[in-house]
Structure 1
Amino acid sequence: MAETVTMTDYQIGEAAEILRVSTRTLRYWDSIGLLVPSHRTRSGHRMYTGEDLEIALQILVYREVGLPLDEIAGLLDAPGDASRALRRQREILVERIGQLHRMVRAVDDILREDTMNDRDMSIEEKIELFGGTWKPEYQDEAELRWGETPEWEQSRRAQEQMTRADWHRVKEEQDTFVADLVDAAEREVTPGSDEAAELVERHRASIGQWYEVSRSKQVLLARMYVQDERFNATYQGRAEYLLSLVETQAQQEGVDLTDVQWE
């Protein structure tokens, strides 16, 4: 029988707003037994107590330091193991803090010098903004491989028109996409589903701001991500999962995955 709701209980929408996660995430946590609401209303609606939200906050902390959901579940069941797991993630946090500090300094520069928004970023500024994910030698390597292609020329022209604010927008959109990709992988979002299709379109749009990209080109790029560990690291180890989403969508749209051409 459903329990009586108290003034300190929260419906799923209220809990999601407090925790700043989606209701879909809370439903998924419930489905895998990670965070089961203490009770439901007579009509079956999930109701979360203050204690439930405390557990949810622990989950969010563990996720922020990079722990997978199955490991988080074990930590919640055996709190004594948490210290060992967190020490293992400390180096990741330290590196991430350094990247955040670099981004804060870059934003401060923009706030102090609004006129700087009207010019392109220098190499040094791009390194500061993108940290370890952007290095001058990467651009040199890319130019060596693709410098004679139409896509390279389109990308070069697009970059010439970008301001510092545009570069920060690109970085923010990339970070958001990667976070959503990781979340979808953890929730085992099925390739070919509506949510997967949305991620695939966002990925193609992120490339399309540089040059024209067909679904076939997107497949070949996603395959390259899997083969190059630098790209896999950019997608936090989810390049294989991204490839599965892209290939499934392409196949649904009639692309022959056994004979994909750059066209």
Structure 2
Amino acid sequence: MTDYSIGEAADILHVTTRTLRHWDQIGLLVPTWRTWSDHRLYTDDDLERALQILVYREAGVPLKEIGELLDAPGTAAERLRRQREVLVERIGHLHRMVRAVDDLLEGGDTMSMNEKVELFGEEWPGYQQEAEERWGDTPEWEQSQARQKNMTRADWQQVKDDQDGFVATLVDAAERGVAPGSAEAEAIVAKHRESIGQFYEVTAEKQVLLARMYTCDERFNATYQGHADYLLTLIEAQAEKEGVDLANVQWS
């Protein structure tokens, strides 16, 4: 049986060591072994549990619920059925939210369809339709549509330019290893929240859920040039500083 250090486990799972330490502290993923110097060692079984945690987390299930689901009694088949039921429900909801966010970033009633395609790409018409079908009856959709009505092409070009600038800042911070919770990280999180706030009211809790969604959709990860997970760590660290319970985040 192979044992993995916390750094090796983090690399395999594509998470941060900070995430693994947090899971250990709350009892969600306690490594099987520790060295004499108290360094964590993870087994293959530990990594298997971690993969299950990631599946639930990426579907938006609170960490507290994930632990209860994984530790519930029953056969392996029963646990898989419970997992499937939860994931089907959560993934459906998350996809609705993702499509709506796509529209919030890429829409604009004052622009012609050709202009929208020119500015945001050929996929835009499909995103617009998906977003309206999935989120058309939500308060956030209503707010965003009201705010978009008076936006000109120049306004939308500024939105795109700001987004491109934000991504460049995020990538640079990730490459330099800017630490979550630092002053620089706080500024990045504030800029992200401000960009969403152009379209509808956004709280720290909503921002966390949005960032978690980014890690569930490869299109968002591509938008952030492969750094959606890093953005999530920055946002969660800031939210925790602001008093948000990361194990029980609500859309409010």
Tell me how far apart the structure 2 counterparts of residues 256 and 140 of structure 1 sit (CA, whole Å): 34
For residue 196 of structure 2, what is the amino acid of its counterpart? I
Post-superposition offset of 1:184: 0.4
Q: What is the aligned partner in structure 1 of residue 199 from structure 2?
A: 210
Matched residue SS, 1:151: helix
Alignment map for 1:83-232 (pairs within 5 Å): 120-131=110-121, 135-232=124-221
Tell me how far apart the structure 2 counterparts of residues 247 and 124 of structure 1 sit (CA, whole Å): 38
Q: 1:101-155: per-residue Cα shift (whole Å, max 9, x none)? A: xxxxxxxxxxxxxxxxxx92112211111236x5111122122221111000011
Percent identical: 67
For residue 127 of structure 1, what is the amino acid of its counterpart? V
Tell me how far apart the structure 2 counterparts of residues 167 and 149 of structure 1 sit (CA, whole Å): 23
Q: 1:26-78: per-residue Cα shift (whole Å, max 9, x none)? A: xxxxxxxxxxxxxxxxxxxxxxxxxxxxxxxxxxxxxxxxxxxxxxxxxxxxx
Tell me how far apart the structure 2 counterparts of residues 184 and 172 of structure 1 sit (CA, whole Å): 18
Q: Equivalent of 2:238, from 241, 249, 254?
A: 249
Tell me how far apart the structure 1 counterparts of residues 190 and 157 of structure 2 sit (CA, whole Å): 21
Tell me how far apart the structure 2 counterparts of residues 232 and 156 of structure 1 sit (CA, whole Å): 25
Post-superposition offset of 1:174: 0.4
Post-superposition offset of 1:197: 0.4
Post-superposition offset of 1:186: 0.4
Q: What is the aligned partner in structure 1 of residue 41 from structure 2?
A: none
Tell me how far apart the structure 2 counterparts of residues 259 and 158 of structure 1 sit (CA, whole Å): 30
Q: 1:132-185: per-residue Cα shift (whole Å, max 9, x none)? A: 6x5111122122221111000011111111011101110110000000000000
Tell me how far apart the structure 2 counterparts of residues 190 and 154 of structure 1 sit (CA, whole Å): 34
Structure 2 unaligned regions, length at least 5? 1-108
For residue 240 of structure 1, what is the amino acid of its counterpart? D
Q: 1:161-214: per-residue Cα shift (whole Å, max 9, x none)? A: 101110111011000000000000000100000000000000000000000000
Tell me how far apart the structure 2 counterparts of residues 143 and 220 of structure 1 sit (CA, whole Å): 20
Q: Equivalent of 1:239, from 215, 228, 235?
A: 228
Tell me how far apart the structure 2 counterparts of residues 245 and 144 of structure 1 sit (CA, whole Å): 31
Tell me how far apart the structure 2 counterparts of residues 139 and 213 of structure 1 sit (CA, whole Å): 21
Rg larger in structure: 1
For residue 141 of structure 1, what is the amino acid of its counterpart? E
Post-superposition offset of 1:220: 0.2
For residue 247 of structure 1, what is the amino acid of its counterpart? E
Q: What is the aligned partner in structure 2 of residue 61 from structure 1?
A: none
Matched residue SS, 1:227: coil
TM value normalised by structure 1: 0.53
Tell me how far apart the structure 1 counterparts of residues 134 and 180 of structure 2 sit (CA, whole Å): 31
For residue 217 of structure 1, what is the amino acid of its counterpart? K
TM value normalised by structure 2: 0.56
Matched residue SS, 1:192: coil
